[in-house]
Amino acid sequence: MTENFGELLPPARLMLTPGPSNMDPRVYRALATPLVGHMDPWFTEMMGDVQVMLRRVFQTQNRITYPISASGSGGIEASVMNVLEPGDECIICSNGWFSERMAVIADRAPGAKVIRVEAPYGRTVDPEDVRRAGQGKKIKFVGLAHGETSSGVVQNLDHYRKVADELGALLVVDAVATLGGVPLNVEKQKIDICFSGSQKALSAPPGMAPITVNARVEEVIKARKTPVASWYFDFMPIMNMWGSERTYHHTPPISLIFAMREALRLALEEGLEARWDRHRTNQQALVAGLEGMGLELFVTDPAGRLVTVTSVTIPAGIDDRKVRQQLLDEFNIEIAGGFGAVKGKIWRVGLMGYSNQNTNVLLFLGAFEKVLLDQGLRVPAGGGVAAAVESYRHAGQTATMAGARK
């Protein structure tokens, strides 16, 4: 007797979470194209397209640039394990769940010592604290999250590059939530290792972690006295697969690479500066709308607010889960709650990649107002949408998807 499993029919959601984001129809089409072998000459040639486009999005010429076959957390592990050896010390700027994850992974590097420089959720790490923590020590790298999605904070990379230079350290940057949505230039900002995630501002399927590593790091790895603690994430043999040799290392997620290629093509068609402007303009309208409803933003310093993820303080007496569940049930809109130190205290609204559209901002604000009213919170009728519309007028644009595609 066999069970009768029905056809897989996921609901059509508007994903306004810190990831994944909704995908462009062209990315879906690429994902559904015929599978080929990972050693097929056509595929190995196509891998070069992905690397060229990734370099353009990262804004670098680094030889080691490729998508890791793993989630963004795999990017953290690859970055940490390739440079740390027994006896090394590193500084991790911990101001949220994911920056702390970098510290947790570094703790597992054999014989390495991790120095945490901390800030509360919703705050940036003070570069002066990093400088003091590294004084008199030989620091291998300074690591941080460019955008900390657990709280909606963005950090100015230039400040930490200056401190890393003073300490003679590498700079390792988690750009999982920022690549393709926030200004980032690996060459100009002198980032030694930068990794991201496929499913956020790039709007590709989850499961890949684009990474780029400069020549300085290559020399550090070549000078290692011990093997990299992780076989799977060791840069050098993987680059034999992504380099000119195209030798086998592992079977990559072929269909995900197809989809990433198209997502990168879309990003470059739009133009990086236009894409950054769209993300910024729509987030400004979202912020205006939330404040127009009388809500408080969790990150109080506007300069420290992450463009791709906006955190909202949950008003007293309002149930986090009930609000999110009604949004999902009634409007098919998904937003995220907090976790870790801010569980039950904030909502996190993602405006990333393909999800970052003016129509989505206005739809969400209208739906959110209705749900909050139903849940017993008195908010100004129409205040959120009206404030967002005024923000768009002030910006002089609607920040819809640039070059609308049919």
Q: What is the pLDDT of residues 191-248, one digit of tens each?
A: 999 999 999 999 999 999 999 999 999 999 999 999 999 999 999 998 888 988 889 8
Phi, psi dihedral angles at 97 (to 5 degrees): -60, -45
Task: Please give the Cα distance from 299 to 152 (Å, whole number).
Answer: 7
pLDDT of residue 241: 87
Q: What angle is formed at CA 159 by the lines to CA 158 and CA 165, rounded to 5 degrees? A: 85
Structure tokens at 9: 């029919």
The mean pLDDT of the chain is 95
Taking alpha carbons only, the member of 145, 154, 161 closest to residue 196 is 145
Please list, residue by residue across 25-38, b when 16 or more beta carbons sit within 10 angstroms of its beta carbon and e when fewer do. Answer: ebbeebbeeeeeeb
In the chain, % of residues over pLDDT 70: 97
CB 30 within 8 A of CB 261: yes
How would DSSP label each residue in 295-339? --BS---GGGB-SSEEEEEPPTT--HHHHHHHHHHHH-EE-EE--
Q: What is the pLDDT of residues 66-118, one digit of tens each?
A: 999 999 999 999 999 999 999 999 999 999 999 999 999 999 999 999 999 99
> Hey, which residues does 145 pair with through a beta bridge?
174
In the chain, % of residues over pLDDT 90: 92
> Hey, which residues does 124 pair with through a beta bridge?
none
Q: Which residue has the tokens 């500066």?
A: 273
Burial of 393 (0-12, 13-18, 19+ CB in 10 A): exposed
Structure tokens at 105: 């992974």
Signed CA dihedral, 204, 345, 279, 148: sign only = negative
Q: Which residue has the tokens 């911990």?
A: 94
What residue ranges define each of the domains in the chain, with the CATH number in brackets? Answer: 25-268 (3.40.640.10), 272-395 (3.90.1150.10)
Structure tokens at 83: 């440079």
Packing angle between helix 72-83 and helix 215-222, nearest 10 degrees? 60
pLDDT of residue 300: 95
Structure tokens at 115: 């120095």
The contacts of residue 119 (CB under 8 Å, 6+ apart) are 93, 94, 95, 125, 126, 129
How would DSSP label each residue in 100-146? HHHHHHHHTSTT-EEEEEE--TTSPPPHHHHHHHHTTS-EEEEEEES
Task: Please give the Cα distance from 24 to 203 (Å, whole number).
Answer: 7
Q: What is the pLDDT of residues 235-274, one digit of tens each?
A: 999 888 898 888 989 999 999 999 999 999 999 999 999 9
Task: Please give the Cα distance from 203 to 357 (Å, whole number).
Answer: 13
Task: Please give the Cα distance from 248 to 242 (Å, whole number).
Answer: 9
pLDDT of residue 44: 94
Q: What is the pLDDT of residues 19-60, one digit of tens each?
A: 999 999 999 999 999 999 999 999 999 999 999 999 999 999
Burial of 378 (0-12, 13-18, 19+ CB in 10 A): exposed
pLDDT of residue 406: 37
Please list, residue by residue across 2-12, b when 16 or more beta carbons sit within 10 angstroms of its beta carbon and e when fewer do. Answer: eeeeeeeeeee
Q: Is the pLDDT of residue 405 over 50?
A: no
